[in-house]
A and B are shown apart, each in its own frame.
Chain A
Amino acid sequence: MRYFALILLFFPAFALASCSSSGATVVYVNGILTSNQQAQDDMADLRDAYYNRIGDKTVTFTNGYNPSHLGGFGDLLKSIGQAYQNRGPYIQDTDLITILLQIHPQVTTQKLLLVGHSQGTYYTNAMYEYLTGHGVSKSSISVYNLATPAGFVAGDGRYLTSSTDKVINRIRGSLSIAPSREAFAAGPVLATVPQTFPDKPLPPNTTLTLNAKEKADENGGHSFSNVYLELAPSTIVSTVGGALAGLSAAADSAGDCFAAPSEGVSYKAGKAGLGVLDYATAKTGSALAFVKAFAVDVGTKAPANFAAAVGSFFTAITPTPRTQNLPGSFGVVKAIYGSSVSEKDLQELLGTNQGGAVVLAKPQTPPPAPAPASKQTSKGEVRGAETQKPEPLIPAPPAITGGYTPGFGGGGSASPPPSAPPAPAPAQPMTITYTFTAYDENGVSTVCSFDDAPPVPCEGSYSQLLDPGPHTFAVTATDPAGNQSTQTRHFTIR
C-alpha cells in the first residue's frame, strides 16, 4: 500500500472532460505591446459590454493570454514571420501552443468565438486552423478580428479596422514596400524564383473619430478598450452576438472540446529557451532598455519595417548586387528617424550607387539595348526585389521605379523627375506599374491615373499597358478632412 501511495504522488490529478452544446465561449487574444493589465481590462470591458447589452450570461469569456518576450523584441521578430505567413496551414508556435494548452481545460462549450486584437489576430487566425483540424466543427467556430494587421480573417469571419488607426495605417504603408520573403535568403537566384510578399492588412471598414488624446498619440486609434470598444460598442457587441448566434452545435459530448496540442520536446525546449531569455531580459533590466525602446519604436511603426531593414542588410552584405531596386529600407530609415529624412539625404549619405534599396526611387537607367523583343516588356514593379524578368532581354522603361510617398504625414518623394535616357530598342507597348505609399494619421484614400485618363481608386500600386511615347503618372491622396496631395511622375517609353 505504501508503494502504491508513493506511485500516486507522481501522477497528476485529472478530471473528466465534457463539451457542452449549450452556452458559448469567447476567447480573446491580446496583441503585443499591450500590458498584461491592459489585456485584462480589455477582456473585462468586452465581457461587461456584452453582458450589459445582450444579457446572455451563458457566454463565458476566456483570455487566451499572448505573452510578451524580450521586452517586446521577441514578439516583433515573430510578428514579422506572421506577416509573411499569409494564409496557410497551422504552423507550430510555442506561444500558440501555450495558449491552446492553457485554454484547453477552460473551453467546455462547442460554440467558440475567437476575438483577436492587433497582433493577436494572427493568433486567432492560426488558432482557427488548429482547432478546426483538432475536433472543432467549422460550423461551431468563428473569428472576429479587430484592428488587424492580417490580410484575412480565418473562416471568412468579420473584422473591424478603423481608417483612423495609426498603427494599422503605418503597417499598411510599410508592408506595401516590404521586401519579398525570398529577398531574405535567395541571393543570386532571387531573379528566378517567384516572389512572396506579405499580405497587406485588410482595408479599413469604419472610421472612428478620435479624441484629442488619441489624435496626439503617435500610436493613437489602436487601443481595444479606449478606441474600438469605446467608440463602436454597439457594432462590436452586435457582431459578437451575431457571430455567436450563427454557430451551431451537435449533442453534448463527453470528451474534450478539442484535442490539446502535444507538449513535445521541441515545445518544451522552445518554452525553456524563451523562459531563460525572458529571465535574462528581466534581470538585465535597464541594460536592455534600449532593446525595449527599439522594439517599441520599430514595432509600433510596423514589424515589416524591421523585415525590410533585415532585407536591406542582406542586400548590403551581398557582394554582387542582385537586384536593382529592393524597396523597403528607405521606409525603415524614415520610420525610425522620422519623415525629416529624405531619400535624397540618404543617397547623399551613402553615395548614389549603393545598390539595393538605396536606388529605390532613382530613375532606372536602361541597360544596353538587346535584340528586339516580340511582345512582353519589362514590368516596372516597385514592390519587389526584382523588377526585371531575366528572360525577355528588352530595354527597361526609363523611369518606372517610383516608390514615393505622397500624402500628408509621410513626407514626399525626394527623387527628381526622371529624364528620358536613350533607348535604341524598337518601341513596344509596356506595362508600367507604379507602387506608392500614401500615409495620413487619420487614414487616406488614393486615386491614380496615367496621362489624361480619369482617376480611378487605387491602393499601393497601379498598372497600365502604355504605348511608346511620353507619359505622366499621377496619384492623388485625400484624407478624411478632404485635404489632397498629388504627386506626378513623367516618363517616356521609347
Chain B
Amino acid sequence: MKGSLHAVWRWVKWPLIVLTLLALVFAVLVVWRWNVLEGDKQTTVDVERIHATKLVWNDINGALPPEPDSVQNNATLVGVDSNDNGIRDDVERAIYLQYKDNQRAVVAMLQYAKELQMEFTEVYNSETLVAVIQEEGRGSLCLSDKKKKEEVKVLVFNSNSRIQFREDIFNKYMTSYSLLNNQECDILL
C-alpha cells in the first residue's frame, strides 16, 4: 500500500509542483492587475480633482498673506501657503504688489500661479501631468501675455530644487496631449 502511494506521488509530484507555481504566478498577476486598476481609479479621481481646482473670489479676496520666512518657504517644494488658497504666499504677494492697479492681470496671474503650483502637489504620472498642463493651458490663455506668464513662472519656480523638480517630472511623464478649449478664466471680470 505504502509502495503504491509512493509510486502515485512520484507520478503526480511534478505536475502538482508545476500547477502550484502556475497558480502562484496567476495570483501575483491578479494582485498586480488589481493594483493597476486601483491605481487607475486613483488617477481618475486625482485628475478630476485637478480639473475641478479653480481660483475663486474667496481665494484672493481676503487680506494679503504676510511675507513668509524665506528659509521656511524654500525648505519644501510646496513652500508656505498660509491662507491655503493653492498659491504660495511669496508668489501671491509679488503678483499683487506689482500689479495691484490692474485687477484683471492680478486675477489671471494668480490663476496661472495656482495652476503651476499644482506641479508640486499633484503630478505623479503622465495622466496627472497632462491634467495639470491642461489647466495651465487655460491660465495661459486667460492671461494671454507672454511676458506676464514668464514673470509668474519665475516667481513659482524660484529655486534650483523647484526648477529641477519641474524638469524631472517633465522628463519622466511627458507625453502627447490636447489642450482644453473650455472656459479659460476662472474669474470673469
Contact = CB atoms under 8 A, between A and B. Distances in A.
B42 to A, nearest CB: 15
Nearest to A100: B176
B178 interface: yes
B177 A106 contact: yes
Contacts, number: 71
B34 interface: yes
Contacts of A36: 167, 170-171, 174
A106 B30 CA distance: 30
Contacts of A52: 141, 144
30 contacts: A6-B30, A9-B30, A36-B167, A36-B174, A37-B166, A37-B167, A39-B174, A44-B136, A44-B179, A45-B146, A47-B141, A47-B179, A48-B144, A52-B144, A57-B181, A61-B178, A61-B181, A62-B178, A63-B176, A63-B179, A64-B176, A65-B174, A67-B174, A99-B176, A102-B175, A102-B176, A103-B176, A106-B176, A106-B177, A106-B178
Interface of B: 30, 33-34, 37, 133, 136-137, 140-141, 144, 146, 166-167, 170-171, 174-179, 181
- Pick from A37, A39, A58, A61 the residue with the most CB of B within 10 Å: A37
Contacts of B176: 62-65, 99, 102-103, 106
Interface string A7-22: 0011000000000000
A48 B167 contact: no
Interface in A220-241: 225, 230
B141 A48 contact: yes
Nearest to B130: A63
- Chain B's interface: helix, strand, loop or mixed, by majority? helix
A352 interface: no
A9 B34 contact: yes
Q: Which 9 A-B pairs have the closest CB atoms?
A: A102-B176, A36-B170, A62-B178, A65-B176, A36-B174, A106-B178, A44-B140, A57-B181, A61-B179
B141 A51 contact: yes
Given A6-B30, A47-B137, A60 B179 contact: yes
A25 B176 CA distance: 13
B158 to A, nearest CB: 15
A40 B175 CA distance: 10
A9 B174 contact: no
A43 interface: yes
B178 A44 contact: no
Contacts of B34: 9
B139 to A, nearest CB: 10
Nearest to B182: A57
B179 A43 contact: yes
Nearest to B36: A9
Contacts of B179: 43-44, 47, 60-63
A43 B179 CA distance: 9
B30 to A, nearest CB: 7
